[in-house]
Amino acid sequence: MIEIKNLKKSFGEVQVLKDINLTIDIGKIYGLVGRSGAGKSTLLRCINGLESYDEGTIIVDGIEVKSLNNQAAREFKKEIGMIFQQFSLLNRMTVYENIALPMKCWKYSKIQIDKKVKELVELVGIPDKLYSKPSELSGGQKQRVAIARALSMDPKILLCDEATSALDPQTAKAIISLINKINNELGITIVIVTHQMSVLRSSCENISILENGRIEESGFVEDIFLKQPQSLRNLIGDKDIILPQSGINLHILLSKEISDQPVITQMARELQTDFMILGGEMENYRNSVLGSVIINISHENLPVITKYLNENNVIWKFMNSSEIIRDNVQGGGYNV
């Protein structure tokens, strides 16, 4: 377990982490998201002892990171693997040598190293690239090498700092699948720092949203995407939908319990009413599917439609063209 309490960190006069509190359970995938400069990478670097902190505590598996002396800190870092956006491979070395490097530093035997490197290239899906140089690999393949190297010391924790940001969407998806597989098969606790909402949805169980060095929101990923707090809206930005100026625009959010049901057409049939469907999507999360639909209704239908949605536990919010997704100012539709 990683337990962070009242963590504060400044660079000179500038406080970049302001009273951070969060708990990451063993074996989970936890997402940290926020705008550039919010403090995500600094937080990650504090967790693995690469960066010191001024106040508060970080306890990893019962050990306070700050309390470690040099030798203990070295042993501790061995337990935590890390991967980065730019892969950080050594270009003059082969894939084999890159993966073997940490084991060589720890003076593992040649037989141990050989066995482990060959297991790892199988796990990450590049057994045919053992003797290639990084310059001969695609971005996705380079990240696979970096993942194999990060796993070479059998870490308990894997920290991923924007690991998919430099990759095209398909390759990023494949790397996320690999990270999920590592979590499932090896039980490693994973902390993912990302700007990509798709990464949060498809991997993480819990997430925290950082804004200007503070955690503005923490919780289950599905709950946060359904609730859409301001801090999330600040990240997602406005959806590019042209909304009618007449009538009322509603954003309807379908939780995992109802996302596989024909809620919208059922409502139209039961209420014998018409409305325009302006947009909709289903999104895959790690353990569920959530849906969302935007409809335009007439003023006179507002009471009956919102009553129906509330009675059926459907979350809804008002939308208008200037402020794309707005909280339900009348109350009742904000069920999360």
Ligand X SMILES: Nc1ncnc2c1ncn2[C@@H]1O[C@H](COP(=O)(O)OP(=O)(O)OP(=O)(O)O)[C@@H](O)[C@H]1O
Which residue from 207, 234, 222 is spatially nearest to 292, judged by alpha carbons?
222
203 or 208: CB nearest ligand X: 208
Of positions 41, 196, 206, 292, contacts ligand X by CB under 6 A: 41
> Count of CB atoms within 10 A of residue 252's CB?
21
Q: Is 38 in the site for ligand X (CB under 6 A)?
A: yes
40 or 149: CB nearest ligand X: 40
Min dist CB 215 to ligand X, Å, is 12
Min dist CB 216 to ligand X, Å, is 13
195 or 239: CB nearest ligand X: 195
**What strands lie across the sheet with 63-64, from one edge to the other?**
14-24, 2-11, 55-60, 63-64
Min dist CB 191 to ligand X, Å, is 13
Joined together, the tokens standing for residue 60 give: 């990893």
DSSP letter string, 52-105? --SEEEEEETTEEGGG--HHHHHHHHHTEEEEETT----TTS-HHHHHHHHHHH
Of positions 22, 24, 30, 39, contacts ligand X by CB under 6 A: 39
Q: Is 36 in the site for ligand X (CB under 6 A)?
A: yes
Min dist CB 162 to ligand X, Å, is 7
Q: Is 189 in the site for ligand X (CB under 6 A)?
A: no
Of positions 1, 6, 37, 261, contacts ligand X by CB under 6 A: 37
> In the chain, what are the helix, strand and coil shares in percent, each to the nearest 5?
40, 30, 35
Residue type at position 25: D
Span near ligand X by CB under 6 A; candidates 30-38, 86-94, 239-247, 249-257: 30-38
Measured CA to CA in angstroms, residue 153 lies from 64, 76, 110 at distances of 21, 11, 15
212 or 284: CB nearest ligand X: 212
Residue type at position 69: N
Min dist CB 75 to ligand X, Å, is 25
DSSP 3-state of 110: helix
165 or 180: CB nearest ligand X: 165
Half-sphere exposure of 229 (CA within 13 A, CB side): 17
235 or 278: CB nearest ligand X: 235
Of positions 24, 42, 226, 295, contacts ligand X by CB under 6 A: 42
DSSP 3-state of 136: helix
Q: 309, 316 in Cβ contact below 8 A?
A: yes
Q: 134, 98 in Cβ contact below 8 A?
A: yes
Of positions 4, 16, 83, 160, contacts ligand X by CB under 6 A: 16
Task: Write out the residues near ligand X by the rule CB under 6 A.
Answer: 11, 16, 34, 36-42
